[in-house]
């Protein structure tokens, strides 16, 4: 059997985070979901920061139980260990491209996590990324998508890729749905 051909798509890793608010300088990162392009390699990690800082609006969206996080979440260092191990186990490590919906948001909270652990952020989280929000906007400008498909909710509905309701606004559920969305968007770009 011939070895599998390495494609750029195979190097894509999709990330999503659930957080205690919108400001990575003050609000806590609560969970991280990562999925590779094939969908076969997935991980969801819950984080217990030393002090949890949240706002009610964000907590109403993500529905995370802070008591559960306190009892079961990883420390920032443990979470970074798990992320690093997951990345290292991927077939194309360390040459992965990070993607996500409004991915700069997720990456800013990932930087917070690594700073709390006193570590350098893995190179794949530092330099370049692929953003589905930007792709949606460009495709809407080109008339290839309706304007109301520019948000994640609108795009998930348009392509019928939303996670089951119980997994919506969970880091892993949204990462998997974003991976599925990205597949549809790349097909429109062909």
Hey, is 116 helix, strand or coil?
helix
Give the count of beta carbons closer than 10 Å to the beta carbon of residue 161: 18
Least-confidence region, from 1-5, 34-38, 42-46, 161-165: 1-5
Q: Which residue has the higher pLDDT, 169 or 65?
A: 65
Give pLDDT, residue 6: 53
Instruction: Give which of 6, 186, 26, 25 is closest to 96, Cα–Cα.
Output: 6
pTM assigned to the model: 0.91
Q: Is the pLDDT of residue 92 over 80?
A: no
Mean pLDDT of 131-137: 95
Q: What domains lie within the chain, and their CATH numbers?
A: 9-189 (3.30.420.10)
Q: Is the pLDDT of residue 189 over 50?
A: yes
Give pLDDT, residue 1: 39
Give the count of beta carbons closer than 10 Å to the beta carbon of residue 167: 17
Give pLDDT, residue 4: 46
Distance CA(54)–CA(56), nearest Å, equals 7
Distance CA(98)–CA(131), nearest Å, equals 9
Q: Is the pLDDT of residue 111 over 60?
A: yes
Which pair of tokens denotes residue 39? 């969908």
What 8-state DSSP symbol labels residue 87? H
Mean pLDDT of 145-158: 92
Percent of the chain scoring above 90 in pLDDT: 75
Give pLDDT, residue 5: 45
Query: Is there a contact between 53 and 28 (Cβ–Cβ < 8 Å)?
Result: yes
Give pLDDT, residue 2: 39
No. of H helices and E strands in the chain?
7, 5
Give pLDDT, residue 8: 78
Give pLDDT, residue 3: 43
User: What are the CA-CA distances from residue 173 to residues 16, 46, 164, 178, 189 (Å)?
Assistant: 9, 13, 8, 9, 25
Question: Containing H/E element for 67?
Answer: helix 66-72
Mean per-residue pLDDT of the chain: 91
Mean pLDDT of 37-53: 95
């Amino acid at each position: 059997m011939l070895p599998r051909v390495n494609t750029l798509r195979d190097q894509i890793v999709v990330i999503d985070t659930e957080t205690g608010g919108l400001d990575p300088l003050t609000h806590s990162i609560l969970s991280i979901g990562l999925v590779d392009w094939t969908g076969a390699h997935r991980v969801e990690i819950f984080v217990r920061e030393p002090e949890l800082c949240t706002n009610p609006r964000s907590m109403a969206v993500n529905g995370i139980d802070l008591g559960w996080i306190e009892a079961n979440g990883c420390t920032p260092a443990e979470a970074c260990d798990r992320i690093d191990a997951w990345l290292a186990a991927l077939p194309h490590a360390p040459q992965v491209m990070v993607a996500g919906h409004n991915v700069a948001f997720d990456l800013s909270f990932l930087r917070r996590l690594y700073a709390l652990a006193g570590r350098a952020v893995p190179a794949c989280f530092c330099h370049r990324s692929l953003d589905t929000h930007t792709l949606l906007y460009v495709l809407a400008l080109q008339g290839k998508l309706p304007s109301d498909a520019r948000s994640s909710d609108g795009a998930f509905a348009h392509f019928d890729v939303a996670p089951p309701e119980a997994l919506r606004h969970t880091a892993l559920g949204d990462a998997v749905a974003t991976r599925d969305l990205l597949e549809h968007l790349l097909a429109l770009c062909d």
